């Protein structure tokens, strides 16, 4: 996976994780299905996008996620829902999102910088 695909994959995954946090935060009790980010990769169009476009999307997704999480109170952050057949919370999703970003930034640094 090249650096454009890695960052674009990160954006798609973060969007899905933030969506899970949002659904649980809004007290949606629907069990949310899992997803495989590798299955999304062929449909991301990363090779045809400029680095500026991908970075713009990265910043927008990151800001939207931060804004979402910052505006959830303690009770909502602790609300339990189900995603990928496992109990989770918006707070747990926030930690997964943060760790996922660290992982992708390390991949970019190790392979492409």
Q: Which tens digit of pLDDT belongs to each residue from 17-51?
A: 999 999 999 999 999 999 887 787 778 887 888 88
Q: Which tens digit of pLDDT belongs to each residue from 79-104?
A: 999 999 999 999 999 999 999 888 87
Counting residues of the chain whose pLDDT is more than 90, the rounded percentage is 57
Closest CA to 61 of 103, 13, 6: 13
Query: Residue 77, Cβ neighbours under 10 Å: how many?
Result: 17
Give the architecture-level CATH label for domain 3-112: Up-down Bundle (1.20)
Tell me the domain boundaries of the chain. Answer: 3-112
The pTM of this model reads: 0.86
Q: DSSP class of residue 42?
A: G
């Amino acid at each position: 996976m090249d650096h454009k695909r890695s960052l674009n994959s990160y954006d798609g995954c973060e969007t899905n994780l933030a969506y899970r946090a949002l659904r649980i935060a809004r007290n949606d009790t629907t069990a949310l299905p899992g997803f495989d980010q590798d299955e999304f990769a062929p449909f991301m169009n990363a090779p045809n996008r400029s680095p500026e476009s991908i970075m713009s999307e990265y910043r927008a997704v990151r800001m939207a996620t931060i804004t979402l999480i910052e505006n959830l109170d303690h009770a909502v952050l602790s609300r339990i829902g189900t995603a990928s057949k496992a109990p989770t919370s918006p707070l747990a999703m926030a930690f997964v999102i943060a760790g996922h970003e660290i992982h992708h930034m390390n991949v970019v640094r190790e392979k492409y910088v």
